[in-house]
Chains A and B, each alone.
Chain A
């Protein structure tokens, strides 16, 4: 029966359903369990009961940001893997995320971000772009998995060193705490204005990736052959890099460093789209949303003394997965 349902709505349909359910759950679950209908009708009719305020001011922005940031991370992971033809490529590994984080911490530290709210996402985007290009230049186009990982490690190390320096020089323990919390990745205490700030560049990145699916499919046969089949590899590469920088930069600027979604989600979903890099894009976006929403619900449910950060949870789930991938690829490629 499940098979018949799956056949009718397909993987994208099924994932959309899961995302919807998780989204609703994310609105309802928390320290204060919400009677959703009452809160919703209260909010819509304009009364300011506590429940209506929690829904509109706290839960809704949080769920929406998780939805959007998760989609960006999943989508960009799939696009990077398709472009570099490498199952280990992802915004986290290729340095985009840590580059974005370093630049964001930089402007946070020097207080530049206080002067205008849009400086933070712009800085994060520039950081993501620079880090991605650095890894790409170091590893080269037909990089082996090992080269790619090494280049990623090097750029990540550089960005981490930069962040450590800033933490080291931070004027007060309070500033340190704020910077550290931010690098852990966190979606709590966000407002609708944070969402509006991240949305334009995020969507610009998504739009850039519309229609690259077919080209990524063709790239399966290598850059030369793809070029002979009408793909411009140079243009495709820049298009993906810019898209990833826009979307991941915006996501990192808003929620901090949330790792492994871009790595894990495309990898898990690949068999269900028959390994086609093009079809993987949409489902990875949906899968990324689902994973981040689920992780964000997870940190609310898991009882810990200090509140658990969502980036810590995704890393705890993702890192063992990453290890498995490496062992697997060693068997297959080396």
Chain B
């Protein structure tokens, strides 16, 4: 449903994203991995239609993403920033409620559908206890969960999440990955940027591996996370574990 076709982004004379082909199908949870500065966030921005491409195209259900009216796009596609700001001390509940804005007119009140979506998003991300808390006083992990809840409340078809588990404790990492897993069903799909390769291998249907703006490998986790790729891209040596997936790493 979301397709990048030889997409390229140049900023300040630097090719940040180079000739990237990527495809998200219905029902898929896809992981995007790669070392720092590989261009993952830039690619995500481009996929969300937030920056213009210098080469290639990104299409959502066959229509170029920059041609879809923003109001329509914002109902179909949600993007979660890596560490998004919260500028006013609104309560967590109100922040999540903002996720319904794409569905509402300027003067419209919340409908039952809206309330249901908000409650579901808050519960899924384990933010129930935080509802009335000032969003600017949350810890990094709590804030990440709240911002994910905001995106889930929009009930998009495509979810692009930039490192949604980076600041989370172990329990909430697994919980968030389960939320994304459950989200990616039927006619919905999700692309998630991850640094934790074990999580990526465990939860994602497919993985894309990026390095210096280019796509190095894609496919099933076992293929992408081969000892060869890990050495080449991350400069680490994989230690074979019991299963077929690499279980541990050490510096090459």
Binding site for B on A (CB under 8 A): 85, 211, 213-214, 217-222, 224-225, 227-232, 270, 274-277
* A and B contact pairs by CB, cutoff 8 A, 30 listed: A85-B87, A214-B101, A214-B106, A220-B86, A220-B88, A220-B98, A221-B84, A221-B87, A222-B81, A224-B81, A225-B84, A225-B147, A227-B70, A228-B50, A228-B74, A228-B79, A229-B74, A229-B98, A229-B101, A229-B102, A229-B154, A230-B74, A230-B102, A270-B88, A274-B90, A274-B94, A275-B88, A275-B89, A276-B94, A277-B88
What sequence of 0s and 1s flags, for each residue 47-71 of chain B, a beta carbon within 8 Å of any chain A beta carbon? 0111000000000000000000011
Query: Chain B 10-51, CB within 8 Å of chain A: the 1/0 string?
Result: 000000000000000000000000000000000001001110
Closest Cβ of chain A: how far from B97's Cβ, in Å? 9
B contact residues around A222 at 8 Å (CB): 81, 84-85, 87
**Interface on B for A, CB 8 Å cutoff?**
45, 48-50, 70-71, 73-75, 77-79, 81, 84-91, 94-95, 98-99, 101-102, 104, 106-107, 147, 150, 154
Contacts of B107 in A (CB 8 A): 211
Of A218, A221, A270, A275, most buried by chain B (CB within 10 Å of CB) is A221
Contacts of B84 in A (CB 8 A): 221-222, 224-225
Q: Are B70 and A230 in contact (CB under 8 A)?
A: yes
B147 near A221: Cβ-Cβ < 8 Å: yes
Measured CA separation A202–B95 after assembly (Å): 32
Kindly name the residue among A222, A228, A229, A277 whose own CB sees the greatest number of chain B CB atoms within 10 A.
A228
Distance to closest chain B CB from A143 (angstroms): 12
- Is A217 a contact partner of B81 (Cβ separation < 8 A)? no
Within the assembled complex, what's the spacing in Å between the Cα atoms of A225 and B99?
10
Q: Which residues of B contact A227 (CB under 8 A)?
A: 50, 70
A218 to B101, CA, bound (A): 8
Complex-state Cα separation, A277 to B90, whole angstroms = 10
Question: Which of the listed residues A213, A217, A232 has the most CB atoms from chain B within 10 Å of its own CB?
Answer: A217
Give the complex CA separation of A171 and B84 in angstroms: 57
